[in-house]
């Protein structure tokens, strides 16, 4: 019973908690069995030399958690725990260790998937962030808009219209933490009017996963050196197609204007939608950025995705989606189901960053950095593989496509790059000739020299 309880008077833990834990453990270990009667508060207080308040507080906690029940004029009784604590269970410590080992094995931080360290001027960012905290106190202490802060949507609208030739209004823009989150919202908007999503292959698999999770039938559409196969798309009966026309991932291909117009015609004829992922198209070295599909669209059939993760830092989880006007009402009807996933403070800071022109200076800066890094990468790869390797797509974006001639297996090639901390995607492998997609934005200069 409870008479063996001895309080630890040196402990900083209150004595009533010590008594509560002692009785709880006795019940869980079945030393106190179902329906066993406990001493009254007065009796326990006298026997244990504790105040009645201490015993009462311990009993009250046990009653609250269901370990005891109080029967009027009869007393306190242990409840039936259905042998739960007597069952053999896997130790939590073992599970935790296994989990830690799994994560340590799976979660590899590839340096090339980052952006260039120091590319974002943190002094300016800190200043703008502090300005938000100092001069926007009403906004700091209020909840944010589920659609995204209007100040940011306004600046993004101006930015995309000027840099990507888009035609958009702030009300069409939805802000969220990553394009997967936004694709999830889009799937919710379209689920009653669309059932089949076509995805570029090879392409961004995480977009496919979202449509799969929302119950869409997904179809892989092959990609050639000038973009998605339009004939295969027409034959797929898809209602929406995901494309990255300005810098296809992972092939690096650029969709020419003729195919862009064919794709827009498909959307109008099918009464379907194009999901345009424009993730890093602003970074081009030898030519100007190609205008977006959204800007060419005359029939309100393009949904545009953009992100600041690639051009600023992946630590800033702010992406945006531009909805066609025809989907705006459908979005509004479901918008209250979703809370805003991006920090309001960071949204307001980013709005100021764009408004004051810092993003234009930043883009000029990173183009210089990545142009230099691309040239160093070429020399670095040639120093390892010599004439067996060649850059075949490197005019834009933060990843390049290389051709490698090697007698190694695909896994051996992956492991060679992995040993250098580099993540690659093998696009094609025929007759010992590999086409490899390689991100290089996060590789430090000193690793390439």
Q: Are residues 178 and 288 in the same domain?
A: yes
Domain hosting 33: range is 15-86
**Domain annotation covers residue 96:** no
Q: Are residues 340 and 272 in the same domain?
A: yes
Please state the φ and ψ torsions of residue 91, each to the nearest 5 degrees: -65, 135
**Domain annotation covers residue 388:** yes
**Domain annotation covers residue 389:** yes
Domain boundary among 294, 326, 356: 356
CA gap 449, 444 in Å, rounded: 9
Q: Is 307 helix (H, G, I), strand (E, B) or coil?
A: strand
Peptide bond into 449 cis (omega under 30): no
- Domain count along the chain: 3
CA gap 72, 428 in Å, rounded: 78
Q: Are residues 261 and 330 in the same domain?
A: yes
CATH number at residue 405: 3.90.1150.10
CA gap 416, 425 in Å, rounded: 13
Q: Are residues 126 and 257 in the same domain?
A: yes
* pTM of the full structure: 0.80
CATH number at residue 271: 3.40.640.10
CA gap 159, 241 in Å, rounded: 25
Q: Describe the strand order of the beta sheet including 302-307 as a list of residue ranges.
A: 173-176, 319-322, 302-307, 273-277, 240-243, 196-201, 217-224, 227-228
Q: Are residues 167 and 298 in the same domain?
A: yes
**Domain annotation covers residue 115:** no
CA gap 205, 209 in Å, rounded: 6
Q: Which tokens in the block code for residue 194? A: 């669309």
CA gap 347, 341 in Å, rounded: 11
Q: Are 307 and 321 in contact (CB under 8 A)?
A: no
* DSSP H helical ranges for 191-256: 205-213, 230-236
Beta pairing class for 319-322 and 302-307: antiparallel
Q: Are residues 272 and 344 in the same domain?
A: yes
Domain boundary among 307, 332, 356: 356
CA gap 197, 273 in Å, rounded: 10
Sequence-ordered list of residues with C-beta below 8 angstroms from that of 62, at least 6 positions apart, any chain: 20, 23, 24, 68
Peptide bond into 250 cis (omega under 30): yes
Q: Are residues 229 and 331 in the same domain?
A: yes
CATH number at residue 37: 1.10.10.10
Q: Are residues 307 and 422 in the same domain?
A: no
Q: Are residues 257 and 390 in the same domain?
A: no
DSSP at 137: H
Q: Describe the strand order of the beta sheet including 399-405 as a list of residue ranges.
A: 389-393, 399-405, 433-439, 424-430
Q: Which residue has the tokens 């025809």?
A: 326
Q: Are residues 343 and 374 in the same domain?
A: no
Q: Are 221 and 196 in contact (CB under 8 A)?
A: no
**Domain annotation covers residue 100:** no
Q: Which of 10, 23, 31 is nearest to 55 (CA)?
A: 23
CA gap 433, 330 in Å, rounded: 48
**Domain annotation covers residue 167:** yes
Q: Are 293 and 263 in contact (CB under 8 A)?
A: yes
DSSP at 316: S
Q: Are 238 and 217 in contact (CB under 8 A)?
A: no
Q: Which of 240, 220, 299 is nearest to 265 (CA)?
A: 299
Q: Are 269 and 385 in contact (CB under 8 A)?
A: no
**Domain annotation covers residue 102:** no
**Domain annotation covers residue 378:** yes
pLDDT tens-digit profile, the chain (449 residues): 798 999 999 999 999 999 999 999 999 888 999 999 999 999 999 999 999 999 999 999 999 999 999 999 999 999 988 766 665 555 555 545 454 454 544 555 556 778 999 999 999 999 999 999 999 888 999 988 999 999 999 999 999 999 999 999 999 999 999 999 999 999 999 999 999 999 999 999 999 999 999 999 999 999 988 899 999 999 999 999 999 999 898 998 889 999 999 999 999 999 999 999 998 888 888 777 778 999 999 999 999 999 999 899 999 999 999 999 999 999 999 999 999 999 999 999 999 999 999 999 999 999 999 999 999 999 999 999 999 999 887 677 788 999 999 999 999 999 999 888 888 999 999 999 999 999 989 988 988 87
pLDDT value of residue 104: 45
CA gap 53, 38 in Å, rounded: 16
Tell me the DSSP string of 142-167. SPPPTT--HHHHHHHHHHHHHHH---
Q: Are residues 131 and 274 in the same domain?
A: yes
CA gap 4, 13 in Å, rounded: 18
Domain boundary among 356, 380, 403: 356
CA gap 274, 297 in Å, rounded: 10
Taking phi first (over 0 means left), then psi (-120 to 50 degrees means alpha), and beta for anything else, what does residue 381 get? alpha
Please state the φ and ψ torsions of residue 177, each to the nearest 5 degrees: -85, 80
* Cα 217–Cα 221–Cα 222 angle in degrees, nearest 5: 155
pLDDT value of residue 284: 81
Q: Are residues 342 and 229 in the same domain?
A: yes
């Amino acid at each position: 019973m409870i008479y063996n309880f001895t309080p630890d008077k040196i402990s900083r833990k209150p004595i009533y908690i010590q008594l509560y834990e002692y009785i709880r453990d006795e019940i869980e270990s079945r030393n106190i069995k179902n329906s066993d009667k406990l001493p009254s508060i007065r009796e326990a207080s006298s026997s244990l030399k504790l105040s009645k308040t201490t015993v009462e507080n311990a009993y009250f906690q046990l009653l609250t958690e269901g370990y005891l029940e109080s029967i009027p004029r009869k007393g306190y009784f242990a409840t039936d725990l259905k042998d739960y604590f007597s069952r053999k269970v896997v130790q939590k410590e073992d599970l935790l260790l296994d989990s830690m080992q799994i994560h340590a094995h799976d979660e590899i931080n590839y340096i090339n998937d980052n952006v260039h360290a120091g590319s974002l001027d943190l002094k300016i960012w800190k200043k703008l962030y502090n300005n938000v905290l100092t001069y926007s106190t009403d906004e700091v202490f209020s909840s944010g808009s589920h659609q995204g802060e209007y100040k940011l949507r306004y600046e993004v609208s101006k930015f995309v219209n000027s840099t990507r030739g888009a035609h958009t209004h702030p009300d069409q823009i939805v802000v969220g933490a990553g394009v997967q989150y936004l694709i999830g919202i889009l799937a919710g908007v379209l689920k009653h009017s669309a059932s089949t999503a076509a995805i570029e292959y090879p392409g961004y698999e995480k977009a496919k996963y979202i449509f799969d999770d929302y119950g869409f039938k997904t179809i892989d559409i092959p990609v050639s050196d000038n973009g998605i196969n339009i004939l295969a798309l027409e034959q797929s009966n898809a209602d929406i197609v995901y494309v990255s026309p300005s810098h296809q991932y992972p092939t690096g291909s650029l969709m020419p204007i003729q195919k862009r117009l064919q794709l827009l015609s498909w959307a109008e004829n099918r009464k379907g939608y194009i999901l345009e992922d424009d993730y890093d198209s602003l970074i081009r070295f030898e030519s100007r950025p190609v205008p977006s599909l959204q800007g060419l669209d005359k029939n309100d059939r393009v949904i545009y995705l953009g992100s600041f993760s690639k051009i600023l830092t992946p630590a800033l989880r702010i992406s945006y989606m531009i909805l066609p006007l025809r989907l705006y009402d459908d979005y509004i009807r479901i918008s209250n189901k979703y809370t805003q996933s991006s920090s309001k403070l960071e949204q307001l800071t980013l709005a100021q960053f764009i408004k004051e022109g810092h993003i234009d200076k930043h883009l000029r800066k990173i183009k210089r950095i990545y142009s230099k890094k691309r040239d160093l990468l070429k020399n670095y790869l040639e120093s390892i593989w010599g004439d067996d390797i060649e850059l075949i797509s490197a005019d834009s974006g933060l990843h390049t496509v290389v051709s490698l001639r090697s007698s190694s297996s695909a896994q051996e090639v992956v492991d060679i790059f992995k040993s250098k901390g580099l993540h690659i995607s093998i696009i094609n492998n025929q007759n010992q000739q590999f086409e490899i997609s390689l991100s290089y934005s996060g590789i430090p200069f000193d690793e390439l020299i």
